[in-house]
Structure 1
């Protein structure tokens, strides 16, 4: 069955927020180094700034802030663990931010109670109440945690994840799922761009005119095609389409819904004459 209208194109075209972890360097002598060269790091605090040489760590307390170029981390306490190497006396290996954490990178901002960036693992994790990421025209929230795997270029929102995108006309599209995973890869210019966007568990996509539900959804940027599986339903007003899988081709603005390939339930559509012109 062909559904000749794009159901979720605007949602799957959204720009996923990428909060880039800070590459820490400090203006001290000898200067702390990280795995890559970068701009100097400035740390300020209303309370104390402690350098514990025995335990090889820096601690900034009370409204602490670390700034490096366009990126900043603000928290009640910031702790940077380092090690000594042959190349430098201070190779920062882990950064912890605790208490009212706010991370800003250009136009993107992330909020949480705790952030842990392990430079060796290339893993940044943010946890706490009211987890939120914001960017131009969009908001991402999660109950449990945000994870960013630096090497793989993978951003994960876990636990009642929700993505809300608002366009220039003020209309919003919403994606909700147990887990949302955005994977990035380098484009031809060397910049990271969206590769795939996955939604796992209790997937609900809401646009101004439709509600789409399923168990799993994935969008692939290289093909510009989105697919939903697992008891899929598409509702517009009182009209409904039901099947095992839906495929949305954003190149042709064509959507199809399919019955199960292993038998069982047939694809089904219910339309009400007199309602808004249906699919």
Structure 2
């Protein structure tokens, strides 16, 4: 398994990593489930609160709050802003952080704050992760720490 695409020191400032084994299709429908929903007719936004789960193809995003911002003509979703206990899963990889912003058209998710990426037994942490779901790549930045587990065995 190729975890990293370049050398990474124990405390690098940036690391390029693979993210997810299935390339995402941003044109797929977005399904959102939550405990409650507040719609703002003024700006065309929708706020999902409580146990929010966003599904698009294989990608899963969960958080306590997700704000959906629609395009100017309100015909499509421009971006989603997730906060509180944010978890992003693009199988087989998973990441968690304080907040995330998903720009639908580009398939790019920016996670910020205490980001922890788990890939099998290995982990990478940093201040920010920019994941491109359509290319299956990610960049971790800001005090990146990597823990690489060697092959199985007890």
Q: TM tier, shorter chain?
A: 0.7 to 0.9
- Report the equivalent of 1:116: 101
Separation (CA, whole Å) in 2 of partners of 1:169 and 1:72: 28
Q: Is 2:117 the partner of 1:139?
A: no
Match of 1:127 among 112, 118, 137: 112
Separation (CA, whole Å) in 2 of partners of 1:21 and 1:50: 32
Larger radius of gyration: 1
Partner deviation per Cα, 1:43-69 (whole Å, 9 max, x = no partner): 1222x1123233111210122111233
Task: Flag the 1:82–1:21 CA change in 2: closer, same or farther, 3 A.
Answer: farther
Match of 1:55 among 39, 43, 52: 43
Cα drift, residue 37 of structure 1: 2.6
Task: Flag the 1:58–1:153 CA change in 2: closer, same or farther, 3 A.
Answer: same
Please, what TM-score do these two structures have when normalized by structure 2?
A: 0.73
Q: Is 2:150 the partner of 1:161?
A: no
Higher relative CO (Cα under 8 Å, sequence separation at least 6) belongs to 2
* Residues 1-279 of structure 1 mapped to structure 2, 5 A cutoff: 16-18=17-19, 36-38=26-28, 40-46=29-35, 48-85=36-73, 89-119=74-104, 123-129=108-114, 131-142=115-126, 144-148=127-131, 155-170=138-153
- The SS at the match of 2:152 is coil
Conserved in 2, the CA contact under 8 Å of 1:127 and 1:146?
yes
Separation (CA, whole Å) in 2 of partners of 1:65 and 1:78: 9
- Report the equivalent of 1:211: none
Separation (CA, whole Å) in 1 of partners of 2:61 and 2:3: 31
- The SS at the match of 1:166 is coil
Partner deviation per Cα, 1:76-135 (whole Å, 9 max, x = no partner): 1001111255xxx52111110001101111221100010012346664211113x20112
Separation (CA, whole Å) in 2 of partners of 1:96 and 1:11: 28
- The SS at the match of 2:62 is strand
Conserved in 1, the CA contact under 8 Å of 2:117 and 2:123?
yes
Task: Flag the 1:116–1:10 CA change in 2: closer, same or farther, 3 A.
Answer: closer
- Report the equivalent of 1:186: none
Separation (CA, whole Å) in 1 of partners of 2:135 and 2:58: 23
Separation (CA, whole Å) in 1 of partners of 2:4 and 2:122: 10
- The SS at the match of 2:148 is strand
Q: CA RMSD in A?
A: 3.4
